[in-house]
C-alpha cells in the first residue's frame, strides 16, 4: 500500500486521538517500517491492518467503523492534496462516475504501482448510482468512507446500501447510492 495512506492514517490518529495513542500503536504492533513512512513508497498492507486492529483495541471502536472513518478522513486529505479532482466535477454523482476513468488514471501517473480497485458504475436514474467494486484487498469499507467524505465535500445528503459484499464470498461489492433531494 502506498505510504500516503500510512501518513494520512498517522495524521488522523494524532489529530483526532493523540500522539500518545500513535506511539502506543507503534509500540504494540512494532511495524517493520518503525512507523516511518513516505508518501510514494510502498509498505505492507499488513502493517496498516495491524495498526487499525490495535487502534480498535485501544479505543474500543469496531474495526469496520474505524476503516470507514479513515476512508472519510482520507478523502478530505486527498482532496486537499489534489483539489483538481474535486474542482473539475460539478457534483457528487459526476465525481463518483469519474473515479475509475479519470482519478485512477491520474493516480497511476502520480504514484508508481498504486494497486487500485476496479470501479464500474450504472446510473439508472439521475440521482441514483450503482457502483461495482472489485479488489483483492477487499477494502470496500474504506471505499464507503471515501464516498461519505465525497458527499460531505459536495454538501450532499445521500442514502447508501451495500447489499453485495466480497466479504460474503461474492466476486465484487455493490454500492447503491441515492442523492436525497
Kindly tell me if the per-residue pLDDT of 103 is higher than 90.
no
How would you class 169 by CB atoms within 10 Å of its CB: exposed for 0-12, middle for 13-18, buried for 19 or more? Answer: exposed
In the structure, what pLDDT confidence band is assigned to residue 79 with cuts at 50, 70 and 90?
very high
Asked if residue 116 has pLDDT above 70, the reply is: yes
Check if the beta carbon of residue 162 is closer than 8 Å to that of residue 169.
Answer: no
* pLDDT tens-digit series, residues 19-69: 999 999 999 999 999 999 988 788 998 999 999 999 999 999 999 999 999
* CA end-to-end span of the chain: 37
* Predicted model pTM: 0.92
Is residue 87 within 8 Å of residue 95, measured between CB atoms? no
Least confident of 38-52, 55-69, 72-86, 96-110: 96-110
- What rounded mean pLDDT belongs to the chain? 93
Question: Mean of the pLDDT values across residues 67-79?
Answer: 95
pLDDT given at position 1: 79
The three cell numbers of residue 125 are: 436514474
Identify the pLDDT of residue 112.
67
Model pLDDT, residue 40:
79
The answer to whether the CB of 121 falls within 8 A of the CB of 98 is no
100 pLDDT higher than 90: no
In DSSP terms, which residues pair with 160 in a beta bridge? 177
| Cα(181)–Cα(157) distance, integer angstroms | 8
Amino acid at each position: 500500500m502506498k505510504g500516503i495512506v500510512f501518513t494520512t492514517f498517522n495524521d488522523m490518529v494524532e489529530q483526532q486521538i493523540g500522539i500518545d495513542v500513535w506511539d502506543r500503536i507503534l509500540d504494540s504492533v512494532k511495524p517493520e517500517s518503525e512507523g516511518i513512512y513516505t508518501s510514494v513508497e510502498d509498505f505492507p498492507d499488513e502493517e496498516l491492518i495491524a495498526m487499525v486492529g490495535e487502534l480498535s483495541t485501544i479505543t474500543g471502536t469496531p474495526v469496520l467503523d474505524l476503516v470507514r472513518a479513515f476512508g472519510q478522513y482520507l478523502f478530505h486529505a486527498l482532496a486537499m492534496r489534489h483539489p483538481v479532482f474535486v474542482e473539475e466535477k460539478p457534483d457528487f454523482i459526476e465525481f463518483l462516475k469519474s473515479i475509475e476513468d479519470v482519478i485512477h488514471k491520474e493516480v497511476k501517473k502520480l504514484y508508481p504501482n498504486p494497486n487500485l480497485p476496479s470501479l464500474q458504475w450504472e446510473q439508472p436514474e439521475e440521482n441514483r448510482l450503482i457502483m461495482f467494486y472489485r479488489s483483492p484487498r477487499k477494502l470496500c469499507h474504506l471505499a464507503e468512507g471515501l464516498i461519505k467524505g465525497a458527499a460531505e465535500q459536495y454538501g450532499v445528503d445521500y442514502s447508501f446500501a451495500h447489499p453485495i459484499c466480497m466479504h460474503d464470498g461474492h466476486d465484487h461489492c455493490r454500492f447503491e447510492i441515492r442523492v436525497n433531494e
